[in-house]
Structures are given as structure tokens and as C-alpha cells.
Amino acid sequence: MATEKEWWRGSVTYQIYPRSFMDSNADGVGDLKGITARLDHVASLDVDAIWLSPIFPSPMKDMGYDVSDYTDIDPCFGTMADFDAMVARAHELGLKVIIDQVLSHASDQHAFFIESKSSRDNPKADWFVWANPNHDGTPPNNWLSIFGGPAWSWDSRRKQYYLHNFLKEQPDWNLHNPDVQDYLLGVMRFWLERGVDGFRLDTVNFYMHDQLLRNNAANHLPWAQQAHRPFEMQYNLFSRNQPENLAFLERIRALLDEYDARTTVGEVGDTHFAIELMGQYTSGKRLHMAYSFELLGPNYSPEFFRSRITEFWRKAPEGWPCWAFSNHDVPRHMTRWKEFGADHDALARQAAAVLLAFQGSVCIYQGEELGQTDTALEYHELTDPEAINFWPEALGRDGARTPMVWEAGASNGGFSEANATWLPVKPPQAARAVDTQGGADSVLNFYRRMLALRRAEADLRVGGMVFLDLPDPILGFTRGEGLVCAYNLSPEAVACDIKGALEPLLSQDITLTDGQISFGPNGFVIARKRAA
């Protein structure tokens, strides 16, 4: 079993998107007091930790991922006293607190960037990535921004370009500069001293860039030319994933090791080497955990899950993954995978039973425990720059960020008493409110049962995982020495032979006979092996 120091190993973290969790002051935006008021709900799930997306002062060009002050709270979320009260209440409830840290880039309103762009010889001149133009005035290389256009913007005072892998309002820190590293480590120390239990590290593989500024090649993968973002048409060999990143991750780990029972989880975004990077970044004295977008796409098949998880453990036997099916950056999995379910709630329960049985740690996103779906938004309702820039081919991230729903019959689903909220609450989402899910078979109560089982069974938290040779569409694996998990990942009834007698611990629409399991649509079983 994991020790207290390693509480994160096999843990389950609940992601809170603060703007959308609970509004305490009727301004239409969620806040820290609102989070504190609703922590009992999170604790009732029996998760280990909460993760908060950014709450720092920001112009909100990218909803807080453009930080202008790393050691304060944005007024829209409350005060530092509100933060301290939230941490205290979480700890009372047995919940660890993980907060986002955006170390790859800042806001262009950050005081150090304002100083950096004032001249080429000021004390912060090389704290961000600056480069001279080509002789024809074009940017120094062909790197592209994720949100569209070049990854370089011109500054007329310095007569140089600055690098931004995201919005032009999000200049990249020059992490090759040890003074920048020291500053950002100091920021992390500030929050550790404030009592946080760890950090979710945004875009962790973007920290370093190729100092020679070599051009990226074309993406050779067959889907690349159909991508809606030009960024994905490049093989981003030089704009991210640099080997110098590893030494900085080791500095982060050394800082965390000065404190008791703290953790890090890094977000790895890559189209070519995500699994390899997850392993590399969590091996040795680097990050504790890493997650990627590998399980956040359209695939819901036995072969896909086998391939991704097997590849991780093959390439990183000493590493540690954190798996997720949904987050604030992708469509919710109950929208992505609806074709695989004959019944919405049955599919939602099955997805929970799959994710929460995987070897590794797990993150679930607010509303996932309700079987929540994406909200269909009109263009005038959008706030996400990705959606606005690529509409209508890409719907962006707003659909997964609409407010949490607490009471189906209340204004704005019980999220806020404001006349209008920052993103709207619509009837399909309100219909899945917490107060509608009191039934024994509700998605919410299933999450509670599944999470209780994961906590009770050491094999589900930290046991090894071996896949079974079962026919599609059945996914099967063992956990530890004593558990068998089997799932029909389809909306059709199927059956398969299975060796050994089983004692079901949690199941849905299955029949066990000697040597065979019959599955109804989206049926599954998590069972203990019976002694021969």
C-alpha cells in the first residue's frame, strides 16, 4: 500500500474549474468561497485531492492561464484569506489541495514582461524569449502558435520578436535563464509554505525551446493535413520537448522533497511522443506523475486502452501515470463516446468503472460524476480563443467548461443567483444536477461506490495490471493477485469464456455461469478470484 508520503500513488484527484464550480456572490463567476461551500460534495465521493485550475490575477485572455501575478488571488475569485479558508476546510475533510502552476508562459501584463520589452539591456531583458527578425522582416523561424498564426509577435520598441506558443498575450519565459528558474521555484515555494499539497504543471513539455531556433519540419502523420489547427501540421521537434527540460524538472522535485507528502502532476501535450515523455518525466527524481491527452480523444476500444497503457509501463516501468477521460480542455467523454452506449447512464457508469480500475493515478473532472455532457453553444456565447479563432470547424473548450449544476429547478442550475453567468447553463445540463441523482443506480452514487471500492481494495490502487486475451469488444485485465475486471465496450450484448470462478464486487448487466460471462450492453464486472 502507498505510504502517506506517497499518498499520490494510486490516488484520485477531482478537478475543479473555479469559474464554473459555485458562485457565492451572484456575479455569475465561480469563486473560492463557493468552492469551500461545496467541498462536502467532493468529500462525499471519497477522492484524495482536489486540483484547482488557475486562480491568480490575470487579464483572463485565456481564462487564467495568462498569469500577471503568481503570488496573489484574482479578485474575481476572492482574496488570499478566502484561499486559506478553502485549504483549511479541504484539509478538515481529508482532501489534499493541488493548484495549477503555469510556468511555461506568463501574461503580457506581468511586471517582468513589461520591463523586459522596455529595452534590450534592462535587468529582465532576457527573462523572456526574444529574437531578431530575418533580413526580410519575417519571424526568426516557422514555429506556430497553438491558437493560430506564428508563435512570434513583433515589439516595436525592442525591434525584436518574442515567442508565445499560445496567445500573443502569453509570452514564453526563457527558462534557459537560471534566474527565471529561481524566480519560478520561488513562486512554488510561496504556495508550498501556504499549505498546498502539490502542483498541476501546465504544458510541462513547453518549458524549454531550441536555442538555435531551428525550423520545425512538417508533421508526417496521415491526419495532420486535415487538422483544424496549423500548429498540428508541424512536427514540433524544436519548439518543445527539449532535453534541457529534465534538469529543471529535477530542480522542481528537489524543492518538493524539502516538504512532507507533496506531489506534482505534469500535463504533457504532444502528437508524437506523449507516452515516452510521460515516462521520461516521471522516472528518477523528476515529476511524481504525468498525464497526456492520450485517453482524451475519440477512441473507446479494448485495443486502444491496451496499447496506451501497455506502452506506458513498457517504456517507463519506474514512472507513474495519471489517467483521465475528461478535463477543461477537451469535449467531455460522455459527448465523445455516446455512440458506444445503448443507454447514457449505463455508459457513464461503465466509463467510471474502467477509468477507476486502471493502474496509476486518476483525475476526474467536475460534473463527470453526474454523467455530464458538453453544452452546445452559439458563437456569441463563446469566450474561448480557440473556439473563436477556429469556429465553426472547432467548437473549442467552452462546452466542457459551463457551470456545475447543483439543483435542477433553481436558476442557473443552482450555480449562481446572477441574472447571467459567464457561460450559460442550459436545460440538458441542468437535468443532470446533483439533486436529481439520489437514486441507488444514479451515476453519482455509482461513482461513490466505485471510489469506495478502489479505496478498499489495495489491488485497485497500487496492484499490477495484466491484460487478458479476450475478444473484442471486451476489455479485460487483472489487478494485483486477486482481482479481475472485464467490460463490454459496446452497446450490444456479448459473451466470452473466462477461466476460474469469480466473486463479483461491482457489476452491471452481467450473468456469470461456469467458465463464461454474458454481458448486456455496456455490461461489466469487477470481481475477486475465488480460491480453487
Write the single-letter amino acid at 291.
Answer: Y
Write out 81-132 in H/E/C secondary structure. Answer: HHHHHHHHHHHHCCCEEEEEECCCECCCCCHHHHHHCCCCCCCCCCCECEEC
Positive/negative CA dihedral, 433, 437, 441, 443: positive
- Written as nine digits, the cell of 448 is 461513490
Kind plus residue range of the DSSP H or E element containing 157: none
Helices H / strands E in the chain, number of each: 14, 19
Q: What letter would DSSP give residue 376?
A: P
Angle at 458 between CA 453 and CA 461, to 5 degrees: 80
3-class secondary structure, 207: coil
| Measured torsion, CA atoms of residues 129, 135, 136, 137, in degrees rounded to the nearest 10 | 30
202 noted as active-site residue: yes
Residue owning grid cell 457508469? 349
CA distances (Å), 403 to each of 20, 75, 483, in order? 4, 19, 37
Write the single-letter amino acid at 63.
Answer: M
Q: Which residue is catalytic, options 258, 378, 469, 497? A: 258
Specify burial of residue 515 (Cβ count, 10 A radius: 0-12, 13-18, 19+): exposed
- Written as nine digits, the cell of 432 is 443532470
Q: What letter would DSSP give residue 54?
A: P
Tell whether omega for the bond before 392 is within 30 degrees of 0, i.e. cis: yes
Kind plus residue range of the DSSP H or E element containing 494: strand 494-497
Neighbouring-strand partners of residue 529: 502
Tell whether omega for the bond before 473 is within 30 degrees of 0, i.e. cis: yes
Q: Which residue is catalytic, options 46, 172, 202, 270? A: 202
CB 371 within 8 A of CB 345: yes
Give the C-alpha separation, 116 to 158, whole Å.
Answer: 9
Positive/negative CA dihedral, 352, 354, 356, 361: negative
- B/e letters for 302-327, b = 16+ CB within 10 Å, e = fewer, are bebbeebbebbbeebeebbbbbbbbb
- Written as nine digits, the cell of 476 is 479485460
Give the C-alpha separation, 326 to 338, whole Å.
Answer: 14
How many other C-beta atoms can be found within 10 angstroms of the C-beta atom of residue 5? 12
- Written as nine digits, the cell of 337 is 463516446
CB 34 within 8 A of CB 24: yes
Instruction: List residues with catalytic annotation.
Output: 202, 258
